[in-house]
Structure 1
Amino acid sequence: MPYRHAARSLCLASLVAALMQLTACASGASKPTPASASLNALYGQLDQASQSYETALQQTRAGDAEGAQKTLDQALDQLKNSAAQCGTTPGCDPQRFFSVFDHLLRLKDGSFIGDQTPNEDTGEAATTSLPGQAGGAINPSEMQRSVTLLRGHQLSELIAMNGPVKAALEMWLTQWRSNLMDAYVNYEYLRQEMWPQYQQQGLPEALLFGILAKESGGKVHAVSRSGAAGPLQFMYATGLRFGLSEQDGFDTRFDPGESARANAQYMNEQLQAFNDNLELTLAAYNGGEGRMRRLVGDDTSVSFYDPRIYNQLSQETRDYVPEVLAAAWLFLHPDSYNLHFPQMNNETGSITLARAASISELTVCLGSADNHLDGWFRTLRNLNPRLDPQQEQPVGATLQVPKSLEKAYAVRCVNGPWPILASDLHNAIVPVVPDAPPVAAPDPVVHYTVRRGDTLASIVRKHGSCSSSSEVARMNNLKFDHVRPGQVIKLPSCH
C-alpha cells in the first residue's frame, strides 16, 4: 500500500525500539525460574512481532504491498497466540501486547497514513483502556478478546479492508453518534447484568455491545414494529426457544440479564451451525437462521458478501451485519477514531422509598443530579424493568438506582419542594373526552318498490347513473329484466 508520510517512520521506529527495550528489561533476570522462563519466551514472541512491524514498514516503503501484508498477517497470528498465553502466565503485562497489536492492526488497515497516535513521538507505551475501565493496564482476558474477538477470528479481518463496515463506522461517528453515546451510557448501567452472561458463554463483550447498540440502543423496553422486544430484540417464538417467557405477567425478553443469556446461547448455537462465521451468524440473528441456512447450504466457509448470499438478503440484513461489527469495533478502539466515551461510575445501588413515588416522579425530583443532563428516566426504567414507570410504588419499596443517586435521592426526593412538584405533575387531571357515538355505515344497497308502468331501465334511470340494468338484474336474480308492480328490488347505493 502507498505510504504517503515516510518521515513518520522515525517515530514508528522509536516506538518499536521502546517496545523492544521493555521486552529486554523484562527478560533480564540473572537466574530465570520456570515461571520467568515462560514469561521471557512470551516477551521474545512480542519482540519478534515488533521486528515484524518494522519489516512491514520497510516493505511498504519499498512498494512491496504483498510482502508487507504477509508479514503483518504472520505477526498478528504470532501475537494472537502469545496473547492467549499471557493471561495464564504470572507477571505477564498484557498492555505490551495490546500496544503492539494496536499498531500492527492500524498499519494493516492503513490508518497510520496521515494519523499519529498519542505518545508516538516519545516512544512511550500507550495506556489505552477498554470502555468501562478507569484506566491502567487492560485485564488479560479482555486484551485477548480485543486481539482475537472470537475463537481465533480477528475482528480486524472483518473490519480493515471492508467497505460496508467502514461506511457503517462513518455513520456511527457522524449521524448516529448521539445514538452510539446513548447506547454506551445505557449499556454501562446494564453491564453488570448482561456482560457476565456473555462471559460465561465465552463470547466477547464488544459483540454484545454491537448488537445492543444496533438493536435497541440499550433501551430495555424497546419493541419493534415486527414485535421483537427487549434490549436485544427477541421475537416471541425465538425467545421461548431460549427460555424467555411470561413470569407473573412480566415478559422476560425485557429482563437485561435473561435477554443477554438467551442471546449468548443463540449466538453460540448459530456459530456452531455456521462454523464460527460471525457475519453469517449475525445475518441469521437479523434475517432468520432458517433462511441463512438455506442460502449457505453446506458451504459454511462462504463469505457473507458472496453475491450468492449477499444479493439474496434484505437491505436491512445487508446493513445490519456491518453496523453491528462497526459498533463492536468502536467499543474496542474508540481512541483510534477520535471517539471518547464518557468516564462513568456504573456501580449499582438501591434506595428504599421514604414516600410513595413512581419512576416518573423520581425522575422529576432527581433532575440532573450527578451532572446527568438528560435526566434519569431511561436509567431508572432499565434498572427496574418490571415496574410500570407511571405506577406509584409504596413506602418501603426498594428500587435499583446508580450508586451515585443514593445520596441525591435522600437530599432531593424525600423532603422539600421537588417531590411535591413531582407528585403534583404526576397526579394532574386531564379532561376525558367521551368517545363519539359510532356512525352507522351507509347501507350498501337501497330498496325500491316497483310501481305500475315501471321497467327495469326506467327504475335505473330514476335511481341515478351509478348502476346499470344488467347489474340490478344480477343483484335481484331477474330474468329478461322483468319486474312487476309491488315487487321490492335492491339497487346499489349511490352514496
Structure 2
Amino acid sequence: MTYRILLLLPFLILLASCVSNPQKQKTQAAAIIPATETTNIDDLLEELSAPEPEAFPAPPENLNLWQQLARGFQLQDIEHANIDREIQIFLDRRDSLTRQLKKGEPFLYHILQEVRKRGMPSEIALLPGVESGFRPTAYSRHGAAGLWQFMPATGRYFGLKQDWWYDARRDPVESTEAALGYLQKLNKRFDGDWLLAIAAYNAGGGTVGRAIRKNLEQDKPIDFWSLDLPAETRQYVPRLLALSHIIGQPERYGMVLPAIENELRFVRVPIGEQLDLKVAAELAGMNTEDLLLLNAGLNRWATHPDGPHYLLLPADKAEQFSEKLAALPEDQRLRWTRYRIKRGDNLGRIARHYGVSVQALMQTNHLKNHRIRAGAHLMIPLSGSTTIAAANTISRSNRKVRYHVRKGDSLYAIAKQFGVKVADLKKWNRLAGDRLKPGQELTVVRTL
C-alpha cells in the first residue's frame, strides 16, 4: 500500500496544484493520463484506500489434488505431434494409466507442495509417473532406483546416502528434494528452458549440451524439438506433457482420474535412535507392508543405526506413534535373540534356521569373515525372519526388474545380461518356448 501511495504521490500533488489553473490542469494531466481514460480524484483516493490483493490468492476450496495440480501447469500451450501421439498411447491404455496414477496417492501431495515452494511448473510433479510409475521401490535395468530413478553415482552427488541399511534414492522425501534441486540446476544451465531441463534430467546435461552445440555449428534452431537427442529422450518429454494434458483436461479425453484428495498424506516423525520396523508398525497401528511403502529407503528390518532417525508415517497415525514410542522401554526398541554357537555350526546353517541372511548376521555381529567359534554367541535380529523379511523378498533382498524385449534379443542374452538362468526367466514369465517379440515385457528377479 505504502509503495503505491508513494508512486502516485506526484500525480496527486499535480492534480491539487492544477485546481486553480484549469488550462494548466488540462495540459499537464493530458501528458500523464491517456486521452481515452478519465480520472476522478475521489475515485482515485477510494482506490488507494482499498485493501491490496493477496500476492498469492488462496486456492478455491474443495479442489481435489488433480485440480490443484492443474492450476500450476505452465507448459500447456506447447503443441506438437509427438505429444498427441503420446496422449493416444495413454488413452489406449486407460486402465493401466488409472492404476499408475493411483499409485501416486501417498506421494503426490508432498511432491506438489515442494514443486510449488520452488516456483516450478506443476508438470514437474508428474515426472515420477513417467520415471517409475510412482513406485518408490522401482528399479531400472541400468540400476536407477526410486520415484525419481536416480543412478547410484548421481544420487551420491546430490547427497543421497546409499549403504547396507538405507538407500535414500528410494526415500520419497530425500529423493524429491534432490530431484527438484537437480532440475533447478538444469533449468538454470539451459537458460530457463524447462523442456531442455527435463530432457537433460533423462539424458544428462552433457548429452543435451552437445546436441545444442551441434545445432549451433550447423545454424539450426536449439529448441528441444530441433535437437538430435536419444530416442528415449525424444519420447520422454512429450510423454510428460501428454500426461499433464490429460490431467489438465480429463473431460476432453474421456478420462476419469482416480479420486485423490488434496491433503497431507504423511509426516516425518523423529524416532531418536535405531528402531525395529516391526515394533514401529505395531506402535503406529499399521501393517509392516504399508510402513515400508512410505519408508521404501530402508533396506533392513530396522532403521539405520547411524540415522536418519525418522520415519514417514500417515498423518493420522503420527501422534499415536509418538506417544507410544515415548513410553516404550529402551530394551524393546529392537528385537533380538542370543544364540550360542555349537560345534559344527556355520553362518549359513544358522542364517537358514532363523530365516535371515548371512550378511545380516555378519553386519549385526561385526564379523569380518565367516569364521565363528563354538561357545561364542551371535545376536540374531528376529524381525529379519518374519514379516519384514517376507515384504523385502522382492523389493529389497531381490530386485524385480521389468525388461522390455528389443529387436534381436534372446532369452540367453537377457539371462546373461542380468546374471540369471534361462530356466528362471521362463519360470518367472511362464514361457513355454524360447521365442520373444520386440516390446514384450519380461520380469527379471535379481538377487543382491
Q: TM-score, normalised by structure 2?
A: 0.49
Q: TM-score, normalised by structure 1?
A: 0.45
Larger radius of gyration: 1
Give the number of the structure with larger relative contact order, counting CA–CA contacts within 8 Å between residues 6 or more apart. Answer: 2
